Amino acid sequence: MLNFEIINPTRIVFGKDQLQRLPELCAEFSSSKKILLAYGGGSVKTIGLLAKVKEYLKDFDLIEFGGIEANPQFHTLMKGVSLAKEKEIDFILALGGGSVIDGVKFMTGAFYYKGDPWEVLERQEGCVFEKALPFGSILTLPATGSEANSGAVISRSDIQEKRAMGGPLFFPKFSFCDPTVVSTLPKRQIANGIVDAYVHTLEQYLTYPTDNLLQERQAEAILNTLIEIGPQVMDNPGDYKLASNLMWCATHALNGNLRCGVPTDWATHMIGHELTALFEIDHARTLAIIAPRLYENQFANKKDKLTQYGKRVFSLSGDDDDIARKAIQHTEAFFQSLGIATKVSEYTKETANLSDKIKKTFIERGWLAMGERQAITPDDVAQIVQNSI
Ligand code: NZQ
Ligand code: ZN
C-alpha cells in the first residue's frame, strides 16, 4: 500500500429536516453574525430553500449574493468578493451544487488575497491563497463531492479557461446533505450527478491493481451501487432510499477516502475540463465522452485493472483481454442508459482542429505526462480527443 496522509474536517449533517441545526453551526464560525448567502441562478428560490434558510437565520445579518453560474465564472465571483469586503462579512454559506460551493471556496481565498486571484488559478510560482474565510454549504445536487472536499474548479469564459484550485483551507466547516433535494432536480442533473460520481470513482480505481484491498472494494461498492440505483433514481427521484444512496455515493466518491494508498489518474477530468471551457458541455457529460476513449488509448497500461473491474463490477467472465474490452463497452453503455451522449459531435459541430487545439493547450501548460503511470502524453490526449469526436 502506498503511504498516505488524510484529514477531512468537514462536518456532514446528512438527512432530511436537519436545518434547525443551521443557526448553531453558523454561530460557531461567524462571530459578527454577518453572513454572505451565496447561490446560483435561482433554483434555491424555486425549491423553497432560500426562504427556509432565511427563516432559520432570522437573527443573523444576511447579505445575498445570487447569480453564480453553472461552471462558476471568475468575474462573477470577484463581484461577490467585493460585496463580501464592503459588507464586512465573516462567513459565507453556499446554497447549491458543485458550482456554487466551488465558487464560494474561491471567494473565501480571494477575499484575503492581495494580488489578482487569477494568478492563483494559473498556479504561477509563489501564488497561493494563504488565508481564507470560513464557509459552510447546503448541498442541492449530489454529484461533485465538493461538499466534502477542498477542491474547486473555476471558469473564465472570456479566455475559455477552466482551472482547478484547492488545499486544506477550503474544506467546508459543515455541509447539510438532504437527499430530498433530488426530487427537485431536472433529470439531466440527476444523470450528471450519477456519472460524475461514477467517474470520480474510476479516476481513483481504474489504474493498476493495488495492495489496498479495502480501497479497491470500496470503489467497487460505489460503482455497483450507482449501477444499481442510477436508472431507478432517474425514474423515482422522490424515493428517499434511492436518493439518499445517490447522495452518499457522490460524497464518498470524492471526500478523499478513495485516493488513500492508491495511484490516481484524473486525466479524464483534465481533458474534459477543456471541452467545458470550449463548448460549455456539462462537466459530467465531458467525462462520459472522454473516459471510454481514454481507457481504450491506455488499454495496455490499464488492462489488469479493467479486467478486475469487468469481473467484479459487471460479473463478466472469459478471456482477460475480452473482459477488459467489454468493461469499457459496459461503462459507455451505462452512461448512455442514463440518456447521456458520449460523442463530442452530439453536442457541437465545431470540432475542426479540436484535438490539435487541446494538445497545444496541454503542451503550453507543461502537462506532458499524465495518468497513474505518467504515460499519457499530449499526443495521447490528441488521439483520445480525436476518437471522441
Ligand atoms: O444555478 P441554479 O439555479 O441553482 O441551477 C443549477 C444549475 O443550473 C441546477 N440545480 C442545482 N440544484 C438544483 C438545481 N435545479 C433544481 N433543483 C435543485 N435542487 O443544476 C445546474 C447545475 O448545477 P452545478 O452546481 O453546476 O452542477 P454540479 O453540482 O454538477 O457542479 C458542476 C461544477 O463542479 C465542478 C465542475 O467542473 C463544474 O464546474 N467540479 C467540482 C469538483 C470538486 N469541487 O470537487 C469535482 C468535479 O469533478 C467537478 O470538476
Ligand atoms: Zn467530476
pLDDT one-digit tens code per residue, 308-322: 999 999 999 999 999
Ligand nearest to the CA of 281: 1
Helix axes 299-314 and 320-337, enclosed angle (nearest 10): 70
Rounded mean pLDDT, 191-215: 97
Residue 73 near ligand 1, beta carbon < 6 Å: no
Q: How far is the CA of 286 from the centre of ligand 2 (A)?
A: 9
With cut-offs at 50, 70 and 90, classify the pLDDT of residue 87. very high
**Residue 21 above 90 pLDDT?**
yes
Q: Which of 147, 166, 167 is nearest to 99 (CA)?
A: 147
237 within ligand 1 shell (Cβ under 6 A): no
Overall pTM surpassing 0.85 (yes/no): yes
**Res. 127 pLDDT band, cuts 50 70 90:** confident
Q: In the predicted model, is pLDDT for residue 124 greater than 90?
A: no
Closest to 206 (Cα-Cα) out of 266, 278, 155: 266
- All structural domains of the chain: 11-177 (3.40.50.1970), 187-388 (1.20.1090.10)
The arithmetic mean of pLDDT across residues 350-375, rounded, is 97
Sequence length of the chain is 389
Any idea which of 51-55, 125-129, 242-246, 366-370 has the lowest mean pLDDT? 125-129
Q: Is the pLDDT of residue 126 over 90?
A: no
Q: Is 387 exposed, middle or buried (0-12, 13-18, 19+ CB in 10 A)?
A: middle
Closest ligand 1 atom number to CA of residue 155: 39
Atom of ligand 1 lying closest to residue 192 CA: 30
Is the CB of residue 40 below 6 angstroms from any atom belonging to ligand 1? yes
Percent of the chain's residues with pLDDT above 90: 99
pLDDT at 119: 94
- Given a cut of 90, is residue 380 above it in pLDDT? yes
Q: Is the pLDDT of residue 329 over 80?
A: yes
In ligand 1, the atom with minimum distance to the C-alpha of 149 is: 45
Say if strands 151-156 and 161-166 run parallel, antiparallel, or are unpaired.
Answer: antiparallel
Other Cβ atoms within 10 Å of 266 Cβ, number: 15
What angle (nearest 5°) sits at the alpha carbon of residue 118, between those of residues 155 and 111?
100
Question: What pLDDT score was predicted for residue 11?
Answer: 98
Of 126 and 260, the one with more pLDDT: 260
Q: Are 109 and 152 in contact (CB under 8 A)?
A: no
Please, what's the b/e burial string for 2-33 (b: 16 or more CB within 10 A of its CB; e: otherwise)?
Answer: eeeeeeeebbbbeeeeebeebeebbeebbeeb
Q: How far is the CA of 280 from the centre of ligand 2 (A)?
A: 14
CB environment 105-132: b (16+ within 10 A), e (fewer) = bbbbbbbebeeebbebbeeeeeeebeeb
Whole-angstrom distance, CA of residue 253 vs CA of residue 197: 6
152 lines ligand 1 (CB under 6 A): yes
Q: What is the mean pLDDT of residues 351-372?
A: 97
pLDDT band at 125 (very low <50, low <70, confident <90, very high): confident
Atom index in ligand 1 nearest the CA of residue 68 equals 1
Give the dihedral sign, CA 42/43/44/45.
positive
Tell me the mean pLDDT in the region 107-131: 92
Task: Summarize the confidence of residues 159-171 as an average pLDDT.
Answer: 94
Look up residue 57 and give its amino acid. L
Burial 195-224 (b: 16+ CB within 10 A, else e): bbbbbbbbbbbbbeebebeebbebbbebbe
Q: What distance in angstroms lies between residue 285's CA and the mean position of ligand 2's atoms? A: 10
State in Å: Cα 280 to ligand 1 middle: 13
